[in-house]
Structure 1
């Protein structure tokens, strides 16, 4: 079965992760690795934070989490919230791990106003998990058709109703 993802309006793809630079410096990198789970738990507990979905990956020394957010405003509000789990984790990283260079952290933020997807014989994954899965034929059978349908959908979602 072929499906495509549909999501209303613009959204944000946020890539975040860490890299273990010194495996033996467990006391420096392990606390950093443990900080993401409480943040995700907090974000999933309240949809008003704006996290739509996420997937996690590990490749030897480097972790990668792909997150889908409703907007950059939601993402920034969470990052700056001094009562949430992110702010103290960020401060702790700079206080306890930054100077050692035993662990690195990174992120990239992309605002998305056009996209296309296809999932063949896949359970909900990526944007298909964060948004709505629909039969691919509803949006188009080719990548170009789906991209055009996604752009039309986004344009109509941004028009005043």
Structure 2
């Protein structure tokens, strides 16, 4: 079992990064021969990426369900993600070609992905009584104290003093994101 962080911590990462969600959906449960090869492809791709520190993959988490299976990945850049996805010598490109051929033949399995480009400082995290997960695996963990005590504080919008707890209730000050000059 992975060790728990019993301290309340937040994760930070230097610079911009990418969150990539990729998954598959089993549409016909009893057609194992259609979806099992698709689900078996992801672990070998992740092994390939983890064996190459220069790949740009920072961390990943995999969630397996009955119908829905997902890998949430953290990448250094979109360019790194794209380079791997299109590399004919890596495992992804041929697997994707095969998967697309299979999906044109039947709708027994579906695939999807979402890509989010995250700018430095435009995210916040909190972990308490949990092992490193998600960005907590990819970034550096720091105590969630002082300015990191609240979500608005972790975003740099306040000094972390915008919420107070008295044991039975929570009180908070209104906060607004800082003006960026785009629409001012």
> Under a length normalisation based on structure 1, what TM-score does the superposition of the two structures give?
0.88
Over 3 Å counting, the alpha-carbon distance change for 1:139 and 1:88 in structure 2 is: farther
CA apart distance, 1:139: 4.8
Question: Does the Cα contact within 8 Å between 2:8 and 2:126 map onto a contact in 1?
Answer: yes
Asked which structure has the greater RCO (Cα within 8 Å, sep 6+), the reply is: 1
Query: For the residues of structure 2 that align with 1:100 and 1:126, how far apart are their CA atoms?
Result: 33
Alignment of 1:10-89 (within 5 A): 10-89=16-95
Question: Does the Cα contact within 8 Å between 2:24 and 2:109 map onto a contact in 1?
Answer: yes
Length, aligned pairs only:
149
Q: Answer yes or no: is 1:140 the counterpart of 2:148.
A: yes
Q: CA RMSD for the aligned pairs?
A: 1.3
What's 1:125 paired with? 133
Question: Does the Cα contact within 8 Å between 1:55 and 1:126 map onto a contact in 2?
Answer: yes
Query: For the residues of structure 2 that align with 1:66 and 1:20, how far apart are their CA atoms?
Result: 18
**What are structure 2's unaligned runs of at least 5 residues?**
1-6, 158-184
Runs of 4+ in 1 over 6 A off after TM superposition: none
**Secondary structure of residue in 2 paired with 1:145:** helix
**Secondary structure of residue in 2 paired with 1:77:** helix
CA apart distance, 1:138: 6.1
CA apart distance, 1:121: 1.6
Question: Does the Cα contact within 8 Å between 2:10 and 2:148 map onto a contact in 1?
Answer: no
Over 3 Å counting, the alpha-carbon distance change for 1:86 and 1:144 in structure 2 is: same
What's 1:95 paired with? 101
Q: Which has the larger radius of gyration?
A: 2
Query: For the residues of structure 2 that align with 1:52 and 1:128, how far apart are their CA atoms?
Result: 11
**What are structure 1's unaligned runs of at least 5 residues?**
150-161
CA apart distance, 1:60: 2.2
